[in-house]
Amino acid sequence: MITVENLIKSYNSLRVLDGVCHAQERGEAVVIIGPSGCGKSTFLRCLNQLETPDSGRITINGTTVAAGSGAGNEEEQLRRGLRLSAGMVFQSFNLFPHLTALENVTQAPIVVKGESRSQAETRALQLLAKVGLESKAAAYPAQLSGGQQQRVAIARALAMQPLVMLFDEPTSALDPELRDEVLQVMRQLAEEGMTMIVVTHEMQFARDMADRVLFFEGGRILEAGTPDQIFLNPQQERTKEFLRKVAVR
Amino acid sequence: MSFRQWPVALFVAAFSIAAYGADHLQEIRQRGVLLWGADAEGGAPYVYPDPEKPDRLIGFECELAEALAGKLGVKARMVQNQWDQLIPALERGDFDVILNGLEITPQNRQRVAMSRPYYVYAQQIVTRKESHGMTSMDELKGKSVGVLSGSAASRLDGLRVCDLRTYPGNVQSFQDLKAHRIEAVVLDLPIALYYAKPDTELKFSGAAFAPGYYGIGIRKEDTTLLAALNQAIQELAEDRTLERIYIKCGLWDERQASLKEYKAEQIAESKRISTLREWPKYLPMLLRAAAITVGLSIIAMALAIVAGLVIVLLRLYSVAPLRWLARAYVEVVRGTPLLIQLFLLYYGLPQIGIKLNAFLAGILGLGLNYAASEAENYRAGIQSIPSGQSEAALALGMTRWQTTRHIILPQAVRVVIPPVTNDFIAMFKDSSIVSVISMVELTKMYGILALSTYDFLGLGLMTAAIYFGLSYPASIFAHWLEKRLRYVK
Ligand SMILES: Nc1ncnc2c1ncn2[C@@H]1O[C@H](COP(=O)(O)OP(=O)(O)OP(=O)(O)O)[C@@H](O)[C@H]1O
Ligand SMILES: [Mg+2]
């Protein structure tokens, strides 16, 4: 359902993505690991067009955007189409502080899809219940803990009914004791068959949940395989080194 | 001709101390020069640069100064000084005397010694050639009448029932008269003779009235200088030197004959009015003027808030040429003085056929000027919103505009409320600048009343109380709004 062909992205002279190729089935949960600065975030941000790649093609569910295809109206529509089929969860939550938890979830369906308020609220409440926060519907982000905020952010992304969910280190900004409640929600999503790409440093989570693990290094996918292949029997020297480091840590 | 006479200057001067002890007549004789203070800027026909040779000063007071100096056996030299600062400068010792249309009034006498008069001025009504009536103060009732700011005319009781407009200079009032923005101008006769008499579109309406005297201002302790100058003026009157000068300058009339018989007691002594005790008479006038201040500020601020938003949206989110235009607008408006902008709108635009009335010009001037500041406030507010906010909105599928409209602006509004409120309160006070385009708002009304009653303190307290009464609720409201809009209540 997702196909990425030869994605290249540079900032000035720095090549951050150096020809990434990736294919993913519907319902597959992919975890990306790799050292800091290797291009993981940039890869996710290219997938939902927060960044424009220099070259390469991205296809999600039949919608293809080729890099350098211009800034015309038609291309803009394609990009938004891609964006609409991918939901994104950020490391820093990025909840809208002026809106309640409920309004955070209903805002996009109302504004983007033109849903009625009552319709959007009904579904938002279901989603908040799903992430265990229906009692916090009226709370503002400042009144929520980090873990709660991230769970609202997940509900917010789900409200747009995306085909794939992109998570960029969703637990890195959280205190260790708050991480589980977020990981729990993500586990549940994976079990329900959501297509997911998760960038994370949670190795346990990767081992438990991933259908496939990608090891990023220097803007490329250096090694890919099942969790057992990557964690128990890595082929590349850099992968082994990386895993040693995170294990020590 | 006390234009440009600002209450503030008088206030400051009232408290400054005359530091000079010695008698200066001796010193002047030794020096061989009489230094006389005057303002040549817009000073016709008193003292002004010769249009043909601008480095030379002419005017009847120039000739008078030479004649007087001759009587003292010395030469005369003019010292340029801003008109409203002449008395403080005299007290500071910058020159020996003031010879520049200083009226012999009780108020001036409290500060300086006044010589016997050298000229009898009067008030003259000037109208357009085709106008009818308006030959006396009574007939001016309810009409829009222009006067020079701080002039003797602006202190006439009768003008308080007119739609009074005040001007910073002579040219502007006649320009507005010809442009049908006002119906009449009341001013000192010598100025009228110089500016209006030769103008074929204008006429003198009715006889001159409300006579008064110009005298020489001297430091109070210079008693022998005062005596010598009084003697000199008397002699110049008797040997008809004054008559010759005034005829030559076209300023002679039968009133001047009375100069010879002048008695000091003719000027009534200072009668102080307590405007606080008589507040029912003065407060309503101040409040009416305050209504103009409020109306002007609120409408201008509303314009600034909306126009500022348009400007900032163009600047941040539109295509190239519009973006540059918005940016240029902000830079140009912020880089030029509000005063010049108002002059352009009010006095400049009529030259290309756009005639705004004073209120509209005031609103546009203040509003468009503040729009640039508001745009900058908004820009700072918008840019203070973390980029994660717009990324999250875009990732949810919102368009740029939806992101701005639903996510960025609502947050930016909260950030910009304090600076915008500050601007609003500043505008209350800044709005007094529209007096330069003839509007009489609160500060101007204070100036007019204070100069006619000499009660700077009482009127000042009332005026300050009104300003405070207006701006304090505004800041309370802003605090309340800020609190109400806080994310967590
Ligand atoms: N907007 C930008 N401008 C310039 N350089 C950038 C920009 N964004 C990212 N980079 C650089 O690109 C490289 C890859 O960044 P990216 O955020 O994709 O790394 P990452 O793998 O997500 O790292 P981390 O684990 O620290 O989040 C880094 O060296 C980073 O400094
Ligand atoms: Mg990253």
Res B329 pLDDT > 60:
yes
pLDDT at position B336 is 94
| Structure confidence by residue, pLDDT tens digits, B9-65 | 444 344 433 334 457 888 899 999 999 999 888 788 899 888 888 788 899 999 999
Residue B489 has pLDDT above 60, yes or no: no
* A107 CA to centre of ligand 2 in angstroms: 26
Query: What average pLDDT does range B105-131 have in this prediction?
Result: 90
Report residue B127: phi and psi, to 5°: -130, 175
- List Cβ neighbours of B331 (8 Å cut-off, separation of 6 or more): none
pLDDT the model gives residue B153: 87
pLDDT at site B18? 36
Amino acid identity at B129: K
pLDDT at position B154? 84
Inter-residue contact A171 to A179 (CB < 8 Å): yes
Q: Is the pLDDT reported for residue A30 higher than 90?
A: yes
Residue nearest to atom 17 of ligand 1 (CA): A41
Contacts of A140 in chain B (CB under 8 A): 487-488
Do B392 and A95 count as a contact with CB atoms less than 8 A apart? Answer: yes
Q: Name the band, by pLDDT with cuts 50, 70 and 90, for residue A216.
A: very high
Query: What separation in Å is there between the alpha carbon of A15 and the centre of ligand 1?
Result: 10
Q: B393 to chain A nearest CA, in Å?
A: 8
Task: Enumerate the residues of chain A whose CB falls inside 8 A of the CB of residue B407.
Answer: 96, 107
Q: Is the CB of A200 under 6 A from ligand 1?
A: no
Q: What percent of chain B has pLDDT over 90?
A: 46
CA of B452 to the centre of ligand 2 (A): 74
Average pLDDT for A40-46: 95
Decide: A13 in ligand 1 pocket, CB within 6 A. no
Whether cis (ω within 30° of 0) applies to the bond prior to B88 is no
Name the nearest CA neighbour of A98 among B376, B53, B409: B409
Distances from the Cα of B384 to the Cα of B27, B371, B377, angstroms: 67, 20, 11
Confidence (pLDDT) at A46: 94
CATH superfamily of domain region B279-485: MetI-like (1.10.3720.10)
Alpha-carbon gap: A228 to the closest alpha carbon of chain B (Å): 33
Residue A236 has what pLDDT? Answer: 92
> Would you say residue B487 has pLDDT above 80?
no
Summarize pLDDT for B210-269 with one digit per residue, the tens: 888 999 999 988 989 999 999 999 999 989 999 999 999 888 888 888 887 776 555 555
Chain A, 28 to 87: residues with Cβ < 8 Å from chain B are 48, 50, 80, 83-84, 86-87
Closest-CA residue of A relative to B413 is A98
Contacts of B29 (CB under 8 A, 6+ apart): B72, B73, B74
* B295 has pLDDT over 60: yes
What pLDDT score does B326 carry? Answer: 94
User: What would the mean pLDDT of A163-188 be, rounded to a whole number?
Assistant: 93
pLDDT at res. B355: 84
Task: Determine the distance separating the centroid of ligand 2 and the alpha carbon of A200, expressed in angstroms.
Answer: 9
- Mean pLDDT, residues A201-220 taken together: 92
Residue B52's pLDDT is what?
A: 85
Q: State the Cα–Cα distance between residues A154 and A151, nearest whole angstrom.
A: 5
Pair A167, A198: CB distance under 8 Å? yes
Mean pLDDT of B84-100: 88
From the list B389, B397, B487, the residue facing A108 with the nearest CB is B397
Band of residue B348 on the pLDDT scale cut at 50, 70, 90: confident
Over 70: is that where the pLDDT of B435 sits?
A: yes
Nearest to A107 among B388, B406, B488 (CB): B406
Average of per-residue pLDDT across A104-123: 95
* Whether the complex's predicted ipTM surpasses the cut of 0.90: yes
**Residue A50 is nearest to which of B395, B399, B411, comparing CB atoms?**
B395
Rounded to whole angstroms, the Cα distance separating A27 from A173 reads: 27
Task: Name residue B477's amino acid.
Answer: F
Residue range B254-285, pLDDT digits in tens: 888 888 777 655 555 545 567 788 788 888 88
Q: What is the DSSP letter of A227?
A: H
Q: Which amino acid is at B440?
A: V
In chain B, residues with a C-beta closer than 8 Å to the C-beta of A103 are none
**Given pLDDT bands bounded at 50, 70 and 90, which one contains residue B8?**
very low
Contact predicate A13/A196, CB 8 Å? no
pLDDT at residue B4 greater than cutoff 50: no
Between B21 and B150, the more confident residue is B150
Report the share of chain A in percent with pLDDT over 70: 98
According to the model, what pLDDT value does residue A71 have?
67
Fold equal for B3-116+215-256 and B120-212 = yes
CATH for B3-116+215-256 is 3.40.190.10
User: Which residues have CB less than 5 Å away from ligand 2 (the ion)?
Assistant: A 41
**A160 touching B (Cβ < 8 Å):** yes
Instruction: Give the amino acid at B45.
Output: P
Q: Could you give the dihedral angle defined by the CA atoms of residues B421, B424, B429 and B432, in that order, rounded to the nearest 10 degrees? A: 180
Q: In terms of C-beta distances under 8 Å and separation of at least 24 residues, what long-range contacts does A65-73 make, across chains too?
A: A67/A7, A67/A8
Angle subtended by helix axes A176-191 and A146-158, to nearest 10 = 20
Give the domain ranges of chain B: 3-116+215-256, 120-212, 279-485
Distance (angstroms) between ligand 2 centre and the Cα of A188 equals 24
Predicted TM-score (pTM) of this structure: 0.74
**What is the SS3 assignment for A196-222?**
EEEECCCHHHHHHHCCEEEEEECCEEE
What's the length of chain A? 249
Domain B120-212 is of which CATH architecture?
Answer: 3-Layer(aba) Sandwich (3.40)
